[in-house]
Amino acid sequence: MSNVRDYMIRTMNSVTPDDSIRKAIILMYRSEQSVLPVVNHQNLFVGTIYSNNILKNIIPESFGFLDSSRLFYEVNEAVENLKYVKDEKVEKYMARNRDAVKEDSDMKKLADIMLNNKESVLFVTNDNGFLRGFIERSNLLHYLLDETESKTAAEE
């Protein structure tokens, strides 16, 4: 049986609820991630901050589809709005108590969770709720490839 621990990524950035949105944006950019785990000062997983949550609060009008004739105006207004949002705390924009998977969970269970949800990243905790890493759909694909190859080898 393969566990999440066997496929998860252990190196990652995180923020605390007291960190600024500015710090979260910089970490997202540097780590090439659009979502970060939020942990308390003991590294206990407490939530998630998504780039979309920040964007929804700085882009005026409807989020997502921007009319090309208004794009310049919308971008300028977003820049202006970010001046006020960047110093606010992550706590204001984070999603609390997002589901995390346990590091000793079976990869088959993870496959079910990922395929039935829109989450492309799940954070991994130990039994006490402390952040240990994260797992993406690419890690799920690697697991599925390993399963395929081990079954093929067993049949030969």
Is the pTM here over 0.85, yes or no?
Answer: no
Q: Thinking of the domain 4-155, which architecture would CATH place it in?
A: Roll (3.10)
Question: Which string of DSSP letters, residue by residue, matches 115-129?
Answer: HHSS-SEEEEE-TTS
Confidence of residue 68 (pLDDT cuts 50, 70, 90): low
Rounded to 5°, angle at Cα 18 from 15 and 20: 70
Confidence of residue 135 (pLDDT cuts 50, 70, 90): very high
Q: Which of the pair, 5 or 81, is modelled with greater confidence? A: 5
Going from N- to C-terminal start, the domains of the chain cover 4-155
pLDDT at 152: 84
pLDDT in tens, 7-64: 999 999 999 999 999 999 999 999 999 999 999 999 999 999 999 889 888 876 554 5
pLDDT at 91: 96
Half-sphere exposure of residue 51: CA atoms within 13 angstroms, side-chain side: 11
CA distance 38 to 72: 33
Confidence of residue 153 (pLDDT cuts 50, 70, 90): confident
pLDDT at 124 over 70: yes
